[in-house]
Amino acid sequence: MRDNSRKAYIIIFSTFLLGAITGLAAGSFIWKQSAQPAAGYQGMVEELSSELHLSADQRLQVEKILNESKQQFQDIRKQVHPKFVEIRVQYREKISSILSPEQREAFETWKQKQDARRDTRRPDGKPDNPAAK
């Protein structure tokens, strides 16, 4: 009888624990998804439209404003981007200079991963600076 009671407690406890773990994992996933910002300008339009209950005309105006701003951001990026690339190349060279040959090899792999990650975030999908790789 005692063994049966112990088994029942273990089953109940295990079920409770599994449920708690599943709930925490699901809650964490949902929290991360809801905390993510809207994707790009179209996501921003969707979010503003939903939260502010924009009329169709307001929505079109917001889209126009954001598209105009997008072009301004792109123009500024074209102006300053080469300096960012230059700084990245310089700090990578400095880091590489203090590493052992084995570390340099691992650093090259790390740089390739970083570059690939950054390139996937670019709107045009083009490599950030092919010469720096």
- What are the tens digits of pLDDT across the range 113-123? 999 888 777 65
User: Does some domain include residue 69?
Assistant: yes
Q: Per the structure block, which two tokens stand in for 12?
A: 């109940």
Beta carbons within 8 Å of 26's beta carbon, 6+ residues apart: none
> Quick one: pLDDT at residue 39?
66
The Cα diameter of the chain in Å comes to 80
Average pLDDT estimate for 41-55: 89
In a domain, 57, yes or no: yes
- Tell whether the model's pLDDT for residue 49 goes beyond 70: yes
Q: Which residue carries 């917001």 as its tokens?
A: 62
What pLDDT sits at residue 31? Answer: 65
Lookup result for tokens 């691992």: 106
The pLDDT of 56-85, averaged and rounded, is 91
Residue 91, domain member (yes or no): yes
Closest CA to 82 of 32, 128, 40, 20: 128
Give the mean pLDDT of 72-79. 90
Whether residue 6 lies inside any domain: the answer is no
Three-state DSSP at 66 gives helix
In a domain, 76, yes or no: yes
Q: For the chain, where are the E strands, in sequence order?
A: none
Please tell me the pTM assigned to this model. Answer: 0.47
Number of domains in the chain: 1
Within-domain flag for 11? no
- What letter would DSSP give residue 119? H
Percentage of residues in the chain having pLDDT higher than 70: 81
Q: Mean pLDDT throughout 100-122? A: 89
Task: For residue 59, tell me if it sits in a domain.
Answer: yes
In which domain, by residue range, is 61 found?
Answer: 37-132
**Is 22 contained in some domain?**
no
Alpha-carbon span 96 to 90, nearest angstrom: 10
